[in-house]
A and B are shown apart, each in its own frame.
Chain A
Amino acid sequence: MSTLYKKRRAVAFVAGVLMAISTLIGVLFLLWILATTLKLGVSAMHWDLFINDTPPPGTDGYGLRNAFVGSLFLLGISLVIGVPIGLMAGTWLAEYGFQSRIANTVRFINDMMLSAPSIEIGLFSYAIMVDPMGHFSAISGSVALSILMIPVIVRTTDEMLTLVGSDLREAALALGAPTWKVITQITWKAARSGILTGIIIALARVSGETAPLLFTALNNQYFSTDLGHPIANLPVVIFQFAMSPYQNWQQMAWAGAFITVMFVLVLSIGARWILGRRQVQS
């Protein structure tokens, strides 16, 4: 009896230590990656980054202006495409589809798209946009990014609208408001912060995506805001510069990585903050 007891306690102790070590490993890797990006990124910061465009190979130039503008451009357009589709689809699921077989099928497919490899979406956008048009273009990159965003928006919108109590809906309907008005002015408003959180998370998720842009927006050495042509963007620039032998290019890659990480972290923390505030209110 006593040896069994000791053995069980020993097993539990060893398991506890191993679990603490696992947690330590996870946290240490995060700190290692963040610390490296911070250290090398901050030391690579320079005003020239925001003033000059990316330099031609082998020169001393230092700048990422076209990539910053291009990335913001791609993200902006993908929001314009992705938010309405995601919002409307989520609304259909929560307000019209309920638990019907077809709504649940759409939810199932959406959950599968949620974990789709981004390279697959890039190839899809290549097949439907770049191939027929005959050349790479910014708009095809935005389409790829919006396809990656939509599942996140659909899921959060669906969940947040479902959480809105039916008393609000019924009160509005009882006053004679038509369904579309109930949805746009009552339930959307009640679920506003949750839906916004979903959109921010979706944006954070795609802002570092590189793989889909390789087949769609590609890259552009020059400044461009033309939707029909290749456009410079931060992730692809980081990819190409990191693989290069030039010292200043590798430095710019770190600067770009630092800014991307900061952008994503600010968005993630912002999303948490909005959600946290909502929970305090309710």
Chain B
Amino acid sequence: MTSSDAAVEIARPAASEVQRVVGRGFPLPIDFMFRKATVLAAFLVGAVLFATVIAITYDSWLSIKTFGFGFLFSQEWDPVAQKFGALPFIVGTLVSSTIAMILAIPISFGIAVFIAEIAPSWIKAPIAAAIELLAAVPSIVYGLWGLLIFAPVFGQFEPFINDHLGVIPGLGVLFRGPPMGIGMLTAGIVLGVMVLPYISSIMRDVFVAVPSSLRESAYAIGSTTWEVAWHILLPYTRSAVIGGIFLGLGRALGETMAVTFVIGNSNTLTPSLLMPGTTIPSVIANEFTEATTHLYLSSLIYLGLILIVITLIVRFAAVLLFRTLDRKGGIKT
């Protein structure tokens, strides 16, 4: 526990005692009303999470009743025959996010250590600000850039990927496909760039907050920068780093616009990452206003419910892991 935390802890009970006494001494109705208004607002904030799950379950009830759990494993998505299944969308969501995380985790770690340990101090602030600006760019702009600028450039690299990665026995099947520019891999890369700032800024924050006595002892016995980063910083901040990764994963799983632009929107499952695919958010965004029947709409909302369940687990884990480090005192609040 840091000294500022301790000061706050001591001050708090004292303030609350005073307030309670004053509250009894002057029973003003406006005091009571103000307090109740804040309680109501806090209740709304706490209730909205449950309200989301309940409202979306209610709206997807028709589809849940019709298809049950079989919905999760069915590949069929045929609005004309009124048959719906979620498998291609679930797989697409998981695959595109996995690609994003494989790319973003090592790069974020590199950026965080570079800013925290290696970079000369005059360059730290501008780089940190630049990376954080990446997080401020709206996802629709990522989508526009991905579709009209990045995909054509990336399409020219795809024959190269075909020729070199496509020949690897076993894994090669992932990298064979027509050079279209758009597809699962493109979506994964754009997603990776999007989650980069979230993961790296959390890692940087917790690395900087590691007590300098730990870091300096390691340097004093002759550790290199890399050894300090890998053997001191990372183990000490492990839970917050994993929390940050989960936070980025939650973003990637639920990202809609950037993915919808570049993934190609095809409901067919293929092993190749260069082929068009689809995700839960992008199919909802594409087909929501076209859903003509009740069952169709309800199935799209059922997909949304599946997404919520997946991201809720990820987000719960993320916040929980942060709290763990909070208590350990490695992070400043």
Q: Which residues of A contact B (CB under 8 A)?
A: 8-9, 11-12, 15-16, 18-23, 25-27, 29-30, 32-34, 36-37, 84-89, 91-93, 95-99, 103, 105-106, 108-113, 115-121, 123-124, 126-128, 131, 147, 150-151, 154, 159, 162, 165-166, 169-170, 173, 176, 178-180, 183-184, 204, 207-211, 214-215, 218, 235, 238-239, 242-243, 250, 253-254, 257, 260-261, 264-265, 268, 272
B78 to chain A, nearest CB (A): 23
CA distance A97 to B247 in the complex (A): 26
Contact, CB under 8 Å: A112 / B312: yes
Instruction: Give 3 closest A-B pairs by Cβ, nearest first.
Output: A208-B138, A117-B254, A22-B110
**Secondary structure class of chain B's binding surface, majority of residues:** helix
20 of the cross-chain contacts (CB-CB < 8 Å) are A16-B118, A16-B226, A22-B107, A22-B114, A29-B196, A89-B45, A91-B38, A92-B42, A105-B46, A111-B322, A112-B315, A115-B250, A117-B255, A126-B59, A170-B15, A173-B19, A209-B138, A211-B139, A214-B288, A235-B140
- Residues in B neighbouring A159, C-beta threshold 8 A: 333
Which residue from A27, A127, A173, A254 sits with its C-beta under 8 Å from B55? A127
Residues from chain B with a CB closer than 8 A to the CB of A9 are 224
Looking at the assembled complex, report how far the CB atom of A63 sits from the nearest CB atom of chain B, in whole angstroms: 19
A115, B141: Cβ atoms closer than 8 Å: no
* B residues whose Cβ falls under 8 Å from a Cβ of A: 8-9, 11-12, 14-16, 18-19, 22-23, 26, 28, 30-31, 34-35, 37-42, 44-46, 48-49, 51-52, 55-56, 58-59, 106-111, 113-115, 118-119, 127, 129-131, 133-134, 136-145, 147-149, 193, 196-197, 200, 224-227, 229, 247, 250-251, 253-257, 261, 281, 284-285, 288-289, 301, 304, 307-308, 311-312, 315-316, 318-319, 322-323, 333
Given the known inter-chain contacts A30-B131, A151-B45, A178-B28, please indicate yes or no for A123 contacting B284, CB distance below 8 A. Answer: yes
* A113–B133 touching, CB < 8 Å: no
Is A98 a contact of B12 with CB atoms below 8 Å?
yes
Whether A115 touches B316, Cβ cut-off 8 Å, given contacts A23-B114, A85-B41, is no
Q: Contact check, A178 vs B26: say whether CB atoms are below 8 A apart.
A: yes
Extra pairs beyond A23-B111, A86-B41, A117-B254 (11, CB < 8 Å) = A25-B107, A33-B137, A37-B145, A84-B41, A89-B42, A93-B42, A113-B45, A179-B23, A179-B31, A179-B34, A239-B140
* Bound complex: CA A257 to CA B258 (Å): 13
In the docked arrangement, what's the CA distance between A154 and B141, Å?
A: 27
In the complex, are the beta carbons of A21 and B38 less than 8 A apart?
no
Q: Evaluate whether A19 and B110 lie within 8 angstroms (CB atoms) in the complex, with A92-B41, A183-B34 already known.
A: yes
> Which residues of the partner chain B approach A87 to less than 8 Å between Cβ atoms?
41
Most B CB contacts (10 A, CB to CB) among A154, A204, A268 go to: A268
Q: Complex formed: what's the CA distance from A180 to B129 in Å?
A: 38
Q: Is the CB of B315 within 8 A of A235?
A: no
User: Shortest beta-carbon distance, B289 to chain A, in Å?
Assistant: 7
